[in-house]
């Protein structure tokens, strides 16, 4: 919802704006709350990355945490500028991230090891090129939802196969944050006219960013636990400062 206030970035060229007044606090930040709300995702991804590196998890998890950070940084660029070219830096990493989740979820049961990563890599590159030429809007959202739906059945399979109560709690947090974040996204997207008349805007899209930051962290942590079980690394869910869960592993000693 552009307000005609002078901005550093010029006219809005993105295919969509969210239910937040533009350039209220700074001429350099179009949507203030939607921009800053990506910071928790970056911090959580950093915690996950350090845990992965220090305990020498497989590189796929380090890449996954880095992709979460890249997505959040792309979202910052998009909401701060509302420019079409920066919108690409938000939406394309969203698709790449989901392709990485698909690989991590399905690769343990995939017999042809080189086929899946090759296909997903080519798919991701093809989407990036196509999305840079064609302005997807509804098509992009439907495509993203489809990729998410491909992940959920395997996440549920891992959930029912896991006996550890703390690990199951991570999966429950994953679904809870996904549900709450989706409600915030839908409310901000389709009820903006009503929300704009309220004394205070609840900033539903910013809340979506916060919930999805935690959602990604819980998903990553749960998948790290499941993978550690597959590798017989004796995983345990412990808590950083008694609050933030992460996976501690103990790899078998090699002679």
Residue of 98, 94, 60, 100 lying closest to 74 (CA atoms)? 94
Would you say 77 and 90 are in contact if contact means Cβ atoms under 8 Å apart?
yes
Residues in the chain: 255
Residues near 30 by beta carbon (within 8 Å), at least 6 away in sequence: 7, 9, 12, 22, 23, 79, 80, 81, 82
Say whether 209 counts as a known binding-site residue. Answer: yes
CA distance 23 to 30: 5
CA–CA separation, 1 and 203 (whole Å): 13
Residue 245's φ and ψ, nearest 5 degrees, are -75, 145
- Report phi then psi at 197, rounded to 5: -90, -5
Radius of gyration for the chain, computed over Cα atoms and rounded to the nearest angstrom: 19
Distance CA 16, CA 57 (A): 39
Encoding tokens for residue 141? 């959202």
**Closest among 67, 68, 65 to 48, alpha carbons compared:** 65
DSSP-assigned letter for residue 26: B
79 is in an annotated binding site: yes
The answer to whether 205 is a known ligand-binding residue is: yes
Going by the annotation, the residues of the binding site are 18, 20, 22, 31, 79, 205, 209
Going by the annotation, the residues of the binding site for Zn(2+) are 79, 205, 209
Going by the annotation, the residues of the binding site for Ca(2+) are 18, 20, 22, 31
């Amino acid at each position: 919802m552009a307000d005609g206030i002078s901005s550093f970035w010029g006219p809005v060229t993105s295919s969509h704006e969210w239910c937040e007044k533009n350039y209220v606090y700074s001429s350099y930040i179009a949507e203030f709350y939607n921009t800053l709300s990506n910071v928790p995702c970056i911090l959580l991804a950093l915690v996950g990355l350090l845990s992965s590196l220090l305990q020498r998890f497989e590189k796929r998890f380090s890449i996954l945490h880095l992709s979460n950070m890249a997505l959040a940084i792309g979202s910052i660029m998009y909401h701060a500028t509302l420019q079409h070219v920066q919108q690409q830096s938000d939406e394309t990493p969203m698709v790449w991230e989901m392709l990485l989740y698909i690989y991590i979820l399905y690769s343990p049961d995939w017999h042809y090891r080189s086929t899946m990563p090759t296909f997903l890599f080519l798919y991701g590159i093809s989407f990036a090129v196509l999305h840079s030429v064609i302005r997807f809007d509804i098509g992009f959202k439907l495509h993203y939802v489809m990729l998410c739906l491909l992940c959920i059945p395997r996440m549920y399979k891992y959930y029912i196969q896991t006996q550890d109560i703390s690990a199951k709690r991570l999966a429950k947090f994953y679904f809870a944050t996904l549900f709450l974040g989706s409600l915030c996204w839908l409310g901000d997207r389709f009820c903006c006219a009503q929300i704009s008349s309220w004394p205070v805007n609840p900033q539903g899209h910013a809340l979506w960013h916060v919930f999805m930051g935690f959602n990604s962290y819980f998903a990553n942590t749960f998948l790290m636990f499941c993978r550690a079980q597959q590798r017989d690394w004796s995983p345990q869910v412990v808590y950083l400062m008694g609050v933030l869960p992460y996976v501690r592993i103990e790899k078998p000693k090699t002679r």
